[in-house]
Amino acid sequence: MRLNRLSALFLCAVVAPAVHAQLKGGDAVKNGADHPLLSRFEGSKMVAYDVRQYEEALLPTGKVYYKNSEMVMDASLKLEGKYTRIGYVYEKDRSSLEVFRNYQSALEKAGLKTLYSCALQTCGEYLDSFMMRNHIDKSGFVQGGYRNSLYYGGKDARYLVAKGTQADGTTVHVAIYVVPPAGSYFGGVLLHIVEGKPMETGKVTTALSAGDMAKSLAAEGKVAVYGVYFDTDKTAVKPESKEALAEMAKLLQADRDLKVHIVGHTDNQGSPAHNMDLSQKRAESVVKTLATDYRIDAKRLSAKGVGAYAPVASNDAEPGREKNRRVELVKQ
Q: Is the pLDDT of residue 9 over 50?
A: no
Per-residue model confidence (pLDDT) at position 204: 57
Which residue from 6, 41, 45, 16 is spatially nearest to 29, judged by alpha carbons? 45
Handedness of CA 97, 103, 106, 107 (dihedral sign): negative
DSSP code per residue over 45-80 = EEEEEEEEEEEEEEEE-S-EEEETTEEEES-EEEEE
Q: Is the pTM of this model over 0.75?
A: no
Average pLDDT for residues 14-24, to the nearest whole number?
A: 49
Per-residue pLDDT tens over the stretch 66-124: 988 899 999 999 999 999 999 999 999 999 999 999 999 999 999 999 999 999 989 99
Q: Which residues contact 301 (CB under 8 A, 6 or more apart)?
A: 259, 260, 261, 262, 287, 290, 291
Per-residue model confidence (pLDDT) at position 207: 59
Angstrom distance (rounded) from CA 147 to CA 24: 17
Q: Which residues contact 186 (CB under 8 A, 6 or more apart)?
A: 23, 89, 90, 91, 92, 146, 149
State the DSSP code for 150: G
User: Please, what are the domains in the chain?
Assistant: 6-195 (no CATH), 210-331 (3.30.1330.60)
Q: Is the pLDDT of residue 18 over 90?
A: no
